[in-house]
Amino acid sequence: MTTAASPLLSVRDLTVRYGTALALRDLAFDMPSNSALAVLGPNGAGKSTLARALSGLVPPVAGTVRLDGRDLTGQAPDAIRRAGIVHLPEGRGVFPTLTVLENLRMATARDRRGRSAALERAFEIFPVLRERQRQAAGTLSGGEQQMLSLARALMVDPRLVIADELSLGLAPKMVDVVFASLRRARCAGVAVLMIEQFANRALDFADHCLVMRRGRIVWAGDADLAGPELLRRYLGEATAA
Ligand code: ATP
């Protein structure tokens, strides 16, 4: 059960190794329901490893991951997804020859009524997908395809979306679409853990921020407090832009 005081996600002493190399060391943090957390850090800091450990893609050697108080540590990715953690861009792909509607329908294994309700919710969050529901997904613009992939992820009613570099390689206009889509997901009650190359944009979006370096958390606090000086100190000039 979640009370006002209990976190949605609770991570304790999380440690991951690749062979003998420690990629995450004793990470500990909480995320409240419906919150947004920006995870920043230089290349190789362990951000993607954190995303992969939370979603079951790499097994931790120590520590715990709890969602709504339920221990998910070491569970398979499918079980973790069913419990409410969706990792993007894993499964980002849309099926280009299928219509928008078919893509959305395929994303959930619910009964008919549950599926209609989930579809209606997806169309409320992304009205453009309702307009284009009969169109083949491959003919959507890049930004619309991003919306469709996020809408597919939301069809399973996740509690937490992990967005790992969703804007990587996208034109600035499409980056706007990605952020707007994640904002809509938040309005629908979903928490977002964001790993993002554009640190300032991530901080604008997020309530809280973690800065990682060499597999550890070196700074944690309100996103508002993570000013330019902190970004320069931990990320260097280039990534702070
Ligand atoms: P970037 O911003 O460059 O994507 P990151 O902060 O996401 O970096 P990770 O990808 O989590 O960093 O990598 C953390 C460390 O673990 C790095 O030193 C990396 O080389 C190492 N690493 C990542 N994946 C593997 C793997 N499959 N096998 C061995 N080492 C790995």
CATH topology of domain 9-88+157-235: Rossmann fold (3.40.50)
211's tokens = 């800065």
Q: How far is the CA of 118 from the centre of ligand 1 (A)?
A: 35
Query: Which sequence spans correspond to the domains of the chain?
Result: 9-88+157-235
Atom 3 of ligand 1, residue of closest alpha carbon: 43
Q: Decide: 13 in ligand 1 pocket, CB within 6 A.
A: no
Predicted pLDDT at 240: 45
Enter the pTM of the model: 0.88
Q: Decide: 20 in ligand 1 pocket, CB within 6 A.
A: no
Q: How far is the CA of 46 from the centre of ligand 1 (A)?
A: 6
Residues 25, 63 contacting (CB under 8 angstroms): no
43's tokens = 């290349």
Write the Ramachandran bin of 14: left for phi over 0, alpha for psi from -120 to 50, otherwise beta.
Answer: beta
Average pLDDT along the chain:
89
Helix, strand, or coil (residue 39): strand
Predicted pLDDT at 90: 58
Q: Decide: 49 in ligand 1 pocket, CB within 6 A.
A: yes
Low-confidence ranges of the chain (pLDDT < 70): 1-5, 90-92, 237-241
Mutate to test the pocket of ligand 1, among 20, 47, 193 (most ligand atoms within 8 A of CB): 47
C-alpha span between 230 and 64 (Å, rounded): 29
- Phi first, then psi, for residue 71 (nearest 5°) are -75, 115
Predicted pLDDT at 172: 83
Predicted pLDDT at 92: 60
Predicted pLDDT at 62: 97
